Amino acid sequence: MSRTLYVINPNSNADVTAQLNAAVEPLRRAGGPEIRCVTLEAGPPGVETQAHVDGAALAVNDFAVRHEADAAGFVVACFSDPGVAQLRERVAVPVLGISESAVLTALTLGHHFGVIAILPGSIPRHLRAWGAMGISQRCVGEIAIGRGVSALADREATLAAMIDAGRRLRDERGAHVLVMGCAGMAGFRAPLAEACGLPVVEPTQAATAMALGRVLLGW
């Protein structure tokens, strides 16, 4: 299988792309499609506002249309799933958004899930998505850690904030599963799971695993 499964980071932060590349490494297999993580360098340092999401949607679609000929599929690695619906209308290969894939995966791991968001402004966008998916009753809530995408590079402070949020979602809201609500959190799954004692869904892993299944099964 010579085609490529593209994992698209729609922000310009190469450190985020490096984390995504490490996160999907266990999914790379001989005989499977190449998994290539790419950075859209013209994007903002982090997709943090609705304006960023709207711009990212166009950039994601432009990239995908240019690369459709050699693509096995596309994973949009931003938790607002920018451009996913539009792209599914335009290309004939699987298109997965990490937000949708993450919460669908969470529903297989426990009845109630909680989301660790980066900024408070992200939460209304996420809640609209859960409502559109018809799963709002399975989400016990979201807690923002108050850190933008670039600030996630301070690993010690970020992990401490994520652990605090995860424990609150577990103890105060009754979450059975935690979902990391930003692609830039990719490197924190294992320590967060250990500290909170709950399954933790890393969204780009979830979406890439789904995409691989679709590609290999011809769905």
Q: In the beta sheet, which residues pair with residue 71?
A: 4
pLDDT at 11: 87
Which range has the worst mean pLDDT, 41-45, 85-89, 117-121? Answer: 41-45
Dihedral through CA 67, CA 73, CA 79, CA 84, nearest 10?
Answer: 70
pLDDT at 48: 78
Work out the average pLDDT over 120-128. Answer: 93
Rounded alpha-carbon distances, angstroms, from residue 152 to 43, 137, 146, 155 = 17, 29, 10, 6
Work out the average pLDDT over 188-194. Answer: 97
Chain centre to alpha carbon of residue 151? 17
pLDDT at 137: 96
Work out the average pLDDT over 14-40. Answer: 93
Sign of the C-alpha dihedral computed for residues 52, 96, 215 and 35 taken in this order: positive
- 51 or 45: which leads in pLDDT: 51
Answer whether residue 20 shows pLDDT above 90: yes
What six digits make up the tokens of 127? 């809640």
Work out the average pLDDT over 127-134. Answer: 94
What's the whole-model pTM score? 0.93
Sign of the C-alpha dihedral computed for residues 18, 124, 52 and 55 taken in this order: positive
Confidence of residue 149 (pLDDT cuts 50, 70, 90): confident
**CB proximity list for 137: less than 8 A, separation 6 or greater:** none
Dihedral through CA 45, CA 46, CA 49, CA 54, nearest 10?
Answer: 80
**Beta strands 95-97; 34-39: pairing state:** unpaired
Confidence of residue 2 (pLDDT cuts 50, 70, 90): low
CB 10 within 8 A of CB 76: yes
Burial of 89 (0-12, 13-18, 19+ CB in 10 A): exposed
Work out the average pLDDT over 3-21. Answer: 92
Work out the average pLDDT over 197-201. Answer: 98
